[in-house]
């Protein structure tokens, strides 16, 4: 665009405000192309995602995969909750049980069990942060960020590990869903109200001269209130239970007097502590380890660590794992260019160029920097389709939004979409190159609490 022969004041006077001249220009430009009128009529009267859907993408993205797990497990349903990371995690773990005991593929571990303890631990984590930040201005950006959603439903893989290490797991039959676990808004509201009240009390106590030790004793009384709320909404999690099931052949399975820790160790038997997270964050240097400030759930649990690497590396390792017959937990920005009706994630799934005459030109790094993208959802890879050169074409994804979309709840992701919107994969350390595993021993670079690499567990 050529430079205007105007002073800065002249340019500001002419162009800074939206003037009648500018609005007339915009209108003339709109009506000059009659296609805009057709698009307007169609979009005003219909669901835009139905109007804009690209039929060529629908034809291209078929549920055909030359690498696919023999046992995937039936699609689950997190309903009106943000527990995707727990559902994706338990979907990974349950496959070992289904295979070991030849169970039907609708077997599930209790997501509610981990949800109960995650919410409880997050409340304690939040109050500890409030104690630590009690002398910081309440209008500080980090304090306000933490106050936004102290016990949101989201979480990260290491938070999943910390819960299982401390509490174990149970089958869904031992601690089933409740109304509140499937629709979490009212529970979250009540706990959040009390935690904000407690945060104010902690600050006042410090101002009044109470010691940190005394405040922590008071905090335990606060947590008693939170525990009571949780149990009333969700029921008290079992300390011991009996597991009875029937396998595919009709044979009864009966395991009595189990504990959650024993069920995890002996029945699930998955090496969860030997896993690690790889991320693709092109804002920051690769081959470095990162963490996010004040992100976690279990006080005393292991810190969240990510090793930053290229998308190509993540793809190669994920393919290797899928070829070995194992699933891959991953985090992505699911709302970008995805069609919930058809269960397709493809950068060309909607034709915005034809409808609005616009293009999208931001890079992955720019989308992260300018708030256009973040890690918002966790799912599980169960397959991939490779071309004749062994390059990935599309990925098979097990979602946790019920069986009503895609192929009985399984979605398709184009490889280009992976490159642009997948941010994290979790793999066993044994399949990751040694040089990347060793980075976990280095001191992590600390990203701010509000960084998009922590968004899977953040309030937005």
Q: Which residue has the tokens 């269960």?
A: 343
Query: How far is residue 229's CA from residue 147's CA, in Å, rounded to a whole number?
Result: 19
Query: How far is residue 423's CA from residue 332's CA, in Å, rounded to a whole number?
Result: 5
Sequence-separated (6 or more) residues with CB below 8 Å from residue 328:
318, 321, 322, 380, 381, 425, 426, 427
Residue 42, H or E segment:
helix 35-45
Q: Which is the catalytic residue, given 297, 339, 399, 458?
A: 399
Sequence-separated (6 or more) residues with CB below 8 Å from residue 209:
none
Sequence-separated (6 or more) residues with CB below 8 Å from residue 180:
186, 187, 233, 234
Whether 377 sits among the annotated catalytic residues: the reply is yes
Q: How far apart are the first and last CA of the chain?
A: 37
Cβ contact 193:90 at 8 Å = no
Q: Which of 263, 283, 431, 455 is nearest to 362 (CA)?
A: 283
| DSSP codes of every residue in 399-414 | -SB-SSSTBTTEEEEE
Cβ contact 69:382 at 8 Å = yes
3-state secondary structure of 198: helix
Whether 11 sits among the annotated catalytic residues: the reply is no
Query: How far is residue 425's CA from residue 319's CA, in Å, rounded to a whole number?
Result: 11
Sequence-separated (6 or more) residues with CB below 8 Å from residue 132:
none
Q: Which is the catalytic residue, given 84, 188, 297, 339?
A: 84
Query: How far is residue 297's CA from residue 81's CA, in Å, rounded to a whole number?
Result: 18
What are the φ and ψ backbone dihedral angles of 435, each rounded to 5 degrees? -65, -30
Whether 458 sits among the annotated catalytic residues: the reply is no
Query: How far is residue 327's CA from residue 306's CA, in Å, rounded to a whole number?
Result: 19
Q: Which is the catalytic residue, given 188, 377, 385, 458?
A: 377
Cβ contact 270:93 at 8 Å = yes
Cβ contact 409:341 at 8 Å = no
Cβ contact 263:169 at 8 Å = yes
Cβ contact 121:297 at 8 Å = yes
3-state secondary structure 206-224: HHCCCCHHHHHHHHHHHHH
Hey, which residues are catalytic here?
Answer: 84, 377, 399
């Amino acid at each position: 665009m050529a430079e205007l022969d105007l002073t800065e004041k002249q340019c500001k006077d002419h162009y800074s405000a939206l003037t009648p001249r500018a609005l007339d220009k915009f209108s003339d430009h709109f009506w000059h192309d009659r296609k805009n009128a057709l698009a307007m009529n169609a979009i005003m009267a219909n669901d835009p995602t139905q109007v804009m859907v690209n039929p060529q993408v629908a034809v291209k993205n078929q549920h055909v995969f030359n690498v696919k797990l023999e046992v995937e497990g039936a699609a689950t349903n997190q309903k009106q909750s943000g527990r995707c990371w727990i559902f994706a995690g338990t979907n990974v773990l349950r496959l070992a049980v289904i295979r070991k005991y030849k169970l039907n593929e609708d077997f599930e571990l209790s997501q509610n069990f981990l949800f109960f303890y995650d919410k409880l631990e997050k409340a304690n984590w939040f109050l500890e942060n409030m104690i630590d930040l009690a002398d910081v201005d309440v209008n500080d950006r980090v304090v306000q960020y933490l106050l936004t959603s102290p016990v949101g439903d989201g979480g990260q893989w290491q938070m999943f590990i910390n819960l299982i290490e401390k509490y174990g797991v149970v089958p869904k039959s031992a601690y089933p869903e409740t109304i509140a676990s499937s629709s979490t808004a009212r529970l979250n509201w009540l706990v959040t109200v009390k935690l904000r009240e407690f945060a104010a009390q902690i600050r006042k106590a410090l101002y009044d001269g109470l010691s940190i030790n005394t405040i922590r004793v008071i905090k335990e009384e606060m947590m008693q209130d939170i525990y009571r709320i949780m149990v009333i909404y969700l029921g008290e999690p079992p300390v011991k239970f009996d597991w009875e099931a029937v396998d595919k052949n009709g044979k009864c399975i009966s395991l009595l007097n189990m504990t959650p820790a024993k069920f995890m160790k002996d029945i699930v038997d998955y090496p969860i502590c030997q896993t690690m997270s790889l991320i693709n964050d092109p804002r920051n240097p690769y081959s470095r380890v990162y963490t996010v400030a004040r992100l976690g759930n279990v006080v005393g649990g292991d810190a969240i660590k990510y090793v930053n690497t290229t998308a190509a590396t993540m793809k190669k390792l994920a393919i290797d794992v899928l070829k070995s017959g194992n699933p891959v937990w991953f985090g992505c920005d699911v709302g970008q260019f995805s069609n919930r009706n058809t269960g397709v994630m493809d950068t060309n799934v909607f034709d915005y160029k034809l409808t609005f005459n616009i293009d999208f030109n931001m890079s992955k790094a720019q989308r992260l920097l300018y708030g256009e993208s973040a890690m918002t959802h966790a799912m599980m890879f169960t397959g991939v389709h490779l071309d004749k050169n062994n390059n990935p074409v599309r990925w098979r994804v097990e979602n946790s939004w019920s069986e009503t979309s895609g192929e009985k709840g399984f979605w398709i992701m184009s490889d280009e979409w992976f490159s642009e919107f997948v941010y994290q994969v979790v793999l066993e350390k044994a399949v990751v190159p040694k040089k990347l595993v060793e980075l976990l021993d280095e001191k992590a670079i600390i990203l701010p609490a509000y960084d998009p690499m922590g968004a899977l567990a953040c309030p937005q």
